[in-house]
Structures are given as structure tokens and as C-alpha cells.
Structure 1
């Protein structure tokens, strides 16, 4: 493939991402697409614009869109790593229990009413502990196919972690902690 062909393929990937980023910055309660387009034109030409609109655009919406793009890129890299490791295009982080372990860590942090940074740290540690448990079970049960053993251990650990999440959801305060747990598990960039 020539260099021009690669540049064309790159624009086929980056172009829609750029357009979707612009569209997502114009969605919200405060300002619509016309106001956002005017603020972007004003910023690019150096003209003054509405300070409230500039604050919404540059301090709220743009960081969220940039964060979403970075999170999507990180998830794509993690998915490609899993698929390359297991040589299977259908593999996901759920296979080794990473998602469940991280979710259990976050649920425990919310149940203990910890601050957000501590919840994130416990969530990360939960994901690592789930992988460590899967690896330990996989090493203890040495079968003919190590990849299959890891997958089956991951499914078992994921089921145990899911049961732990359900137990904590039952024990959580239904007016304060349970909604926070549910919204955390659903995911958000807020």
C-alpha cells in the first residue's frame, strides 16, 4: 500500500471521529449546534464570545469529549491485547473476570462510603486481584490447553464476583448507596 493510500485510510478513521466529536460538543441543555459553531468560529478567529458559552464549551464539553476519545482508545487497545493473547476475535475483559473484579472493588468502595479517588483505586485493585485469582486457579489446574483453563477459571471467578456484587447491592442502603452503585456500574463520563 502506498503512503497516499495509508493517509486516505487514516482520514477515513479520523474524519468521522472528528465529526462525531463536534456533534457531541453541540448536544446539551444549554447551547445547541448553532451557538457552539459560533463559539468555535469566534475562538478560531480571535473574536470575543459569550463567557458562559465559552466556559461550557472549553471547560465542560471539550474535556468530556476528549476523555471519551481517550477512554475509547484505551478500551480498544485492551480489547486488541486480549484478542491477540487468546487468538480469538470474540474475547473481552469479562473472560478473565477483570470487569467483574473492578466492579466489585467499586461497589465495595461505594458501600464503605469512600471518596471517589479511593473508589477508583479499589476498583483498579479489584481488577488486578481478579486476574491474579484467575491466574492462580489456572496454574493450580494444569490442563492440556492453558488458554481454555484460563477462560474457564475467568468465567468461574467472574460468577463469584458477580455474586459478591449482588450481595453488597442487597446489603446497601436503598436510598443512598444502591443508586450510586447502580449508576457507577452503568458507567458515565460525568
Structure 2
């Protein structure tokens, strides 16, 4: 999968309305570290380094982050329908971005508003879930539905009062999800935030297998399940918040990719988590290439992931039902 991702990474520079040969792409990328003679035009360098490189990197980061977050949530909640937006992180990010657009903030502040609102929504979910009697996991799921619905209503009200000429189209387009216009500053912000969430998941992935045991059995093996569950939820939330804040709503990646990865390498998180990261990055990069090239007008990537992800998930459900 790593080899497939690398090949797709290089081929993505060739795809586009302005053609750049693969050999020139490699030379342009290597020219930053090696003293190569220039055999490419300035327009080729601009297309590769300023336009396509940031977008390709961000597609890989967002796909990796959403897939890792989905894997973490499905493991914690032991629920195959768990997705990165299960605790309201995506709904919170949407409201934060809509509020930033409504108040006339810059593109950087839109990302910051979305990121902070996403963290706030999950903090509310965790606060409500911990102060409710009963099963803690079920309480978190119910609180996530409630808080997510609340933030979705706030987003709808923001769209209602937005200027229908400028602000409303911008909010609507952001909610569809897109990677167009990506700059390296956005990539650096996403990379730092996602590293904060992804590194703990990779380090704890062997312990995550113990979440399928009872608390007493896990504690006998030296693992405190409540602390582990909190660490996984926080890490997955940071990943989701960072991904949604820079790309908008991109659904199905965090739901479908963990299922596909599980069919390839099994349910052992030691293999499942790295596989989901690589598979998610490759999948979103492939879909983004389709979004750029299928039509004359770029299709929002959130629409394409739904078109691809929903039928494929139905296929997985049908195949699973046949096996049972």
C-alpha cells in the first residue's frame, strides 16, 4: 500500500489540464535538494510546486487523518458505524467555518474557527457524557448525536441570516468539501495538528486491541481502559478537527476505509492503523484527482466521496450478509 501511495503521489502531478511530463516532475521535486540543471519551464515549476504539491500533500494528510480517526472511533465504541463525525466534531467545524464566513474573517481565520469549534463540540460531548448515569460509551454516543444536531441547527441558522449574494454561496461551497486553492501554510497547519493526534494512535495501537476485553481483564494486563479510551478519543478528535477545518465536510472516508483495511489485514490494530492511514491517503488522493479532471468545472470532493463511498459500503454490507 505504501508503494501504491507513492506511485499515485507521483502520477497526481501529471494529472491536470496543464500537462507536465513525469520525468520533469521528478526533476522539479528533486531540484530543491539536488543541484540539477533546469530542463523545465518556469510554468512547469509553478504548476508542480505552487499549485499541485500543496494540494496533493493536503489530500494525503486529510485522507490519512480521517481514516485513522475512523479506525480509532470504531475500536473505542466497538461499533462498525462509528465515523469521525460521531461525536459532533464535523458539525462543530462546519458551524465554526460558517460563523467565520458570516463575520467576514480571512481564509486563515476560517480554518482556525473551524478547528476550535470542532474541539469545543467534542468537549461538550465528553462533559455531557461523563455527567450522565449509565453506560459511558452509550452516553458519549447519545451526547454526540445531541451536540452534533445542535451545531447543525446553528449552521442552518447562520446560512439563513447570511448574505445570499456572497456569504451564503461561500458557506455552501465550504460545506461541500474541497481542496482547491490549497497553500503550503494550510498544509503545515494540518500537518502539525494531525501529528499531535496521529502519533499517540500509532504508539497506542497495540493497547487498543485490549478495548475488546472487559475492564477487569484489561486491568489485569496493566491497561486502564478508561484512560486509554480517553486518549484514543482525544487523538481521533484532533485528527478530525484538523482535517475538517482545512478541507470542509468530506464524508465516508473515515467510515469505509477502516472496513476495507480490516478486510485486508484483519482487526489487529497493530496492522490495521498503519494500513488505514496509507489506504485513506491513497483513496482521497485518487478521488481528488477525479474531482480535478472529470469535468470542466471542479466537483467538490465531498460529493465524490459520497458517490464512491456509499455504494461501496452497501456492497460491503451485502457481502457481509451473504457470508453470515
TM-score range, shorter chain: 0.7 to 0.9
CA RMSD of aligned residues (A): 1.8
Partners in 1 of 2:26 and 2:174 — Cα distance? 36
Q: Is the 8 A contact 1:64 1:189 kept in 2?
A: yes
Deviation at 1:133, TM superposition (A): 1.3
Deviation at 1:28, TM superposition (A): 1.9
Q: Which protein, 1 or 2, shows the higher relative CO under an 8 Å CA cutoff with sep ≥ 6?
A: 2
Partners in 2 of 1:22 and 1:103 — Cα distance? 32
Partners in 1 of 2:10 and 2:40 — Cα distance? 18
Q: Give the TM-score normalised by the residue count of structure 2.
A: 0.50
Query: In the alignment, which residue of structure 2 is the partner of 1:6?
Result: none
Deviation at 1:86, TM superposition (A): 1.5
- Using a 3 Å threshold, how does the CA distance of structure 1 residues 41 and 84 change in structure 2: closer, same or farther? closer
- Using a 3 Å threshold, how does the CA distance of structure 1 residues 24 and 154 change in structure 2: closer, same or farther? same
Deviation at 1:42, TM superposition (A): 5.0
Deviation at 1:20, TM superposition (A): 2.1
What is the DSSP-based 3-state SS (H/G/I as helix, E as strand, rest coil) of the residue aligned with 1:142? Answer: coil
- Using a 3 Å threshold, how does the CA distance of structure 1 residues 124 and 42 change in structure 2: closer, same or farther? closer
Deviation at 1:162, TM superposition (A): 0.9
What is the DSSP-based 3-state SS (H/G/I as helix, E as strand, rest coil) of the residue aligned with 1:96? Answer: coil
Q: Deviations over 1:8-38 (max 9, x none)?
A: xxxxx0222123223322222222xxx3324
1:82 aligns with 2:73: yes
How many equivalent residue pairs? Answer: 174
Please say which structure displays the higher CA radius of gyration.
1
1:182 aligns with 2:197: no
Alignment of 1:93-132 (within 5 A): 93-132=84-123
Gaps of 5+ in 2: 31-35, 181-324
Deviation at 1:120, TM superposition (A): 1.4
Alignment of 1:42-61 (within 5 A): 43=28, 46-61=37-52
What is the DSSP-based 3-state SS (H/G/I as helix, E as strand, rest coil) of the residue aligned with 1:173? Answer: coil
Deviation at 1:110, TM superposition (A): 0.6
Q: Give the TM-score normalised by the residue count of structure 1.
A: 0.83
Query: In the alignment, which residue of structure 1 is the partner of 2:189?
Result: none
Question: Structure 1 residues 150-159 or 65-74, which shifts more?
Answer: 65-74
Match of 1:37 among 6, 9, 22: 22
Partners in 1 of 2:125 and 2:70 — Cα distance? 18
Q: Is the 8 A contact 2:101 2:171 kept in 1?
A: yes
Match of 1:168 among 158, 164, 169: 158
Partners in 2 of 1:65 and 1:85 — Cα distance? 30
